Amino acid sequence: MSEHNHGHEHCGCGGCGHCHEEDEAEGRFLLPRLLTALALLIAGWVMGRYLRWYFTLPVYLLAYAVAGYDTVISAVKGIAHGHGFDECFLMTVATVGAFCIGDFTEGVAVMIFYGLGEYIQDKAVDKSSAGINALIRMRPDHAAIYENGVKTVVEPGQVKVGQIIAVAPGERVPLDGVLLSPSAVADTQAVTGESVPRDFSEGDDIVSGMINMKSEILIKVTHTLSDSSTERIFRMVTEAREKKSRSERFITKFAKIYTPCVVGAAAVLAFVPPVFVGHLGEWVHRGLIFLVASCPCAVVLSVPLTYFAGMGLASRCGILFKGGAYLERLAKIDTAAFDKTGTLTKGKPEIVETRPAEGVTEEELLHLAAHAESKSEHPIAAAIAAKGRCDSCAVTDFAELTGGISAKINGVELVAGSAKLTGVSDDSPYTAVHVQSGGRYMGSIYLADTPREDAAAAVSALKRLGVTPVMITGDNPAAAEAAAQKLGIGEVHAKVLPGEKLDIIRGLKGTVAFAGDGVNDAPALSGADIGIAMGGLGREAAMEAADVVIMDDVPSKVPLAVKIARKVNRTAAFNIAFALSVKALVLVLGAAGIANMWLAVFADVGVALIAVAVAVMRSRRV
């Protein structure tokens, strides 16, 4: 049986035979058992039309044993271990009581329908687990070490940092590393939720869990198995199963108090009124109906399942919640604070504008700058070198300077760099590279860390959800304001040191989420009401400090995570209200002698199935 559906911690049912993982083999035969019991029930009912009760009783007892022997055994075990007031105990007492007062058909039928409900609930839980189980299946089972042209297949745990592994087409990458092959195409959906394969170039980071799609690739390992992305994900998923939301914790406490109370109430209903008005059999029957209807299965099962299914839905979208508590908390956020560089922006400079001097074309300006910058390893130099056209011009006497570079292009001295280096005045919010050739000003190239494609849409979506976006960055105020204006963010805190981010977050209104991507964001991620790590691939510090991990660099998944969290909370609230309302109505009707055992079964199994169906159906899409 599914652990989450029937584990003691989650459903509050103590020691139910339907409640343990070791009963999975038994669960596979549950449906045939129930069909057999149903056939015996029909045979007993037919025989009862022609024979006396003592001839049909053995058939009914056999049907009861086939349908519910495990439930009865578990009830006895529960009593022996001191936690007898569980669902199995309630079902056993109610059905045995039905036999005692001569309602054989009712006693067997209740047990059959109870078992059928458990079977359907199990299938629903298995389905809701699919998204998270897909993440767990990413754990590697082998790795091929590549040395001197020879491949040796070993367990991933045996591979050391620095060794080279080979990954064949169609295989899952077993360990994190750096791509040594010229290029690669990988299916990253299980890791990031992206449906489109991603292209990689030599030197790019490759993480475990991806599937190599084309030719064999070589990867230099940078993390051992215990530190790999898949292992970290597995640990977080395992921990998430143990962490409960406030609603889940409430349900566990509720079941421990509620169940003994209703058992006591059923006993009072069955045995006190007959002292005054007689008709013991009728009042015992009412007490049994009250007992069956009172089972808290719908509430104690549907709430944890709702959060678990929500986590599965999020995982399919590339969003990993570390526990139901964070789903509950994220649903209530008032403010979403973002780091700028690498979170809302791409984290690398791009040319946004060129201003050639009079008589100079843009192509000439970029041509000269690209030749000089091609010798530098600075990110700004790389952006310019990638944009400009390099040909056979001779580049000599290259030198790195404070604020720029100098070189000779075909023997002519060129200087490219900051306004201070070149003596040019500039008040642009962008990073400027001013170019001089042979003492002549050739023009300026402006670069900026440009916003991610969907960053503006993410900010807009958060506003529609009633969440206030805020930017907190260590960048200079002019660059921060320019980026915020493009994105539609009104509140900006610039030139902030890593240690100061947490102080700013604590000063923001309401429940605050913070999204960041680097080591310098770890304190803020830990200190915010909800920490969201962006682009968790290979960013260990942020990933470990956060409560939610977005497995790629897509800002729009932040409002998506909020939508999922709010939907899950609404579903949990609906299921609690629905289950308790129906049960309260049937309990009153049962005490008044209006409800029968079939209605009591609906109040237990039927309501539980409806609540589970609601949880599963609403977890299929956002």
Q: Cα dist. 20→67, 480, 573 in Å?
A: 18, 54, 27
For 9-56, what is the HEC assignment? HHHCCCCCCCCCHHHHHHHHCHHHHHHHHHHHHHHHHHHHCCCCHHHH
In this structure, are residues 335 and 510 in contact, taking their beta carbons and an 8 Å threshold? yes
In this structure, are residues 477 and 494 in contact, taking their beta carbons and an 8 Å threshold? yes
Determine whether 475 is an active site residue: no
Sign of CA dihedral 151, 157, 161, 167: positive
Cα–Cα distance between 353 and 341 in angstroms, integer? 20
Cα–Cα distance between 533 and 523 in angstroms, integer? 12
Q: Which two tokens stand for residue 252?
A: 């566990």
Q: Cα dist. 539→319, 445, 471, 490 in Å?
A: 15, 32, 21, 28
Q: Which residue has the tokens 């209807």?
A: 293
136 burial level (CB within 10 Å; 0-12, 13-18, 19+): middle
For 61-110, what is the HEC assignment? HHHHHHHHHHHHHHHHHHHHCCCCCCHHHHHHHHHHHHHHCCCHHHHHHH
Neighbours of 486 (CB within 10 A): 16
Pairing assessment for the beta strands 512-516 and 335-338 based on DSSP bridges = parallel
Q: For residue 402, give the 3-state DSSP assignment.
A: coil
In this structure, are residues 180 and 220 in contact, taking their beta carbons and an 8 Å threshold? yes
The catalytic residue among 70, 122, 187, 339 is 339
Partners of 441 in the beta sheet? Answer: 436
Q: Which two tokens stand for residue 106?
A: 């009712």
Positions annotated as catalytic residues are 339
